[in-house]
Amino acid sequence: SQTIHQWPATLVQPVGSPLSLECTVEGTSNPNLYWYRQAAGRGLQLLFYSVGIGQISSEVPQNLSASRPQDRQFILSSKKLLLSDSGFYLCAWGSGQGLAYGYTFGSGTRLTVV
């Protein structure tokens, strides 16, 4: 069966420090991969998506970047964190064949920038 792993679960980082969040998927190939952010008391904002290795699309301008070095690995990064980067980050995967099964989400990373 397909599983999705996201780590770390929680992270406290100082302003100006770098960031690397990792997401990996098992049990499927050629998935579409997505990064969402959930700010306190708000909905989910789509940040990046990827339909293949090295293919990254950004939905909103921001201080973050994403990479997909392998088929089932998706990384969210920043060179210098801002206070406004705090939030709950969720990785998700979807079938490259369409939306019939929706997305499967990871358990999320709570990022606090101090």
Partner 1 sequence: AQSVTQPDIHITVSEGASLELRCNYSYGATPYLFWYVQSPGQGLQLLLKYFSGDTLVQGIKGFEAEFKRSQSSFNLRKPSVHWSDAAEYFCAVGAVSSASKIIFGSGTRLSIRP
Among positions 3, 15, 27, 42, the unique one binding partner 1 when judged by CB under 8 A: 42
From residue 113, alpha-carbon distances to 8, 34, 40, 60, 97 in Å are 14, 22, 13, 20, 37
Interface stretch with partner 1, choices 19-27, 63-71, 72-80, 87-95 (CB under 8 A)? 87-95
The answer to whether 43 contacts partner 1 (rule: CB under 8 A) is yes
In the 3-class helix/strand/coil scheme, how is 55-96 assigned residue by residue?
EEEECCCCCCEEEEEECCEEEEEECCCCHHHCEEEEEEEECC
The answer to whether 36 contacts partner 1 (rule: CB under 8 A) is yes
Question: Token pair of 67, please?
Answer: 């990479």
The answer to whether 3 contacts partner 1 (rule: CB under 8 A) is no
Which residue ranges make up the site for partner 1 (CB under 8 A)? 6, 32, 34, 36, 42-44, 46, 49, 51, 57, 88, 90, 92, 94-96, 98-108, 110
